[in-house]
Amino acid sequence: MATKRSLATKLGVVAGFENPRAALEQYPTPPDLAAHVVHLADLHGDIDGKTVADLGAGTGMLALAAALRGPARVIGIELDRDALTTAAGNERRVAASAPVHWIQGDATRLPFDAPDPVTVVMNPPFGAQDGNRNADREFLAAASRIAAVSYSVHNAGSREFVEAFAADNGGEVTHAFAAELAVDAQFDHHTEETRDLDVEIYRIEWT
């Protein structure tokens, strides 16, 4: 298995959003965070040979990280067509050998039927924008419908919510990991050039 550092290096070529939309909380997932999530998933046997779905794939960072770790296939679902165009270009840049399927659609209303239980990896909106409240809850609900196991990134302090949601929807949080998410200034309401957010990664097994 390649190291987490080497995976992050390979993801350094992944381009972000050209015109990010604040309403969709379109913040790029940094390579080191994507490598951290996927490396953890791989260590638990949840990537190699599996079908992996990235809900709200953006420009493909998590999907492509998974595609570099030997899955059977990767599915990236994203609402924004421009982001998907960038994701397809990023796929060529990283030269992943696993097949990657990009689907335009609402990840909370999955536009496909999974042939078998999948591993979900996602960095969902935190629901911080007025028009996007509870978005993280909707993404978790979507994961619960198709996933055998999911890995998701949430604001620090989300453990009580995530554990309660999982328990109410046939899931169980098996692991929780602390991490940092670097957010560069890209919207008018940003007052700092770069801000490091404390986040938490949750592994949930679904039945």
Q: Which of 7, 96, 101 lies closest to 54 in space, CA to CA?
A: 101
- pLDDT for the residue 128: 56
- pLDDT for the residue 187: 46
Tokens of 146: 């198709």
Output the CA torsion 21→161→176→112 (10° steps). Answer: -50
- pLDDT for the residue 190: 44
pLDDT tens over the chain, length 207 residues: 779 999 999 999 999 998 877 677 778 899 999 999 999 999 999 999 999 999 999 999 999 999 999 999 999 999 999 999 999 999 999 998 899 999 999 999 987 777 788 999 999 998 655 555 678 999 999 999 999 999 999 999 999 999 999 999 999 999 999 999 987 655 454 455 577 889 999 999 999
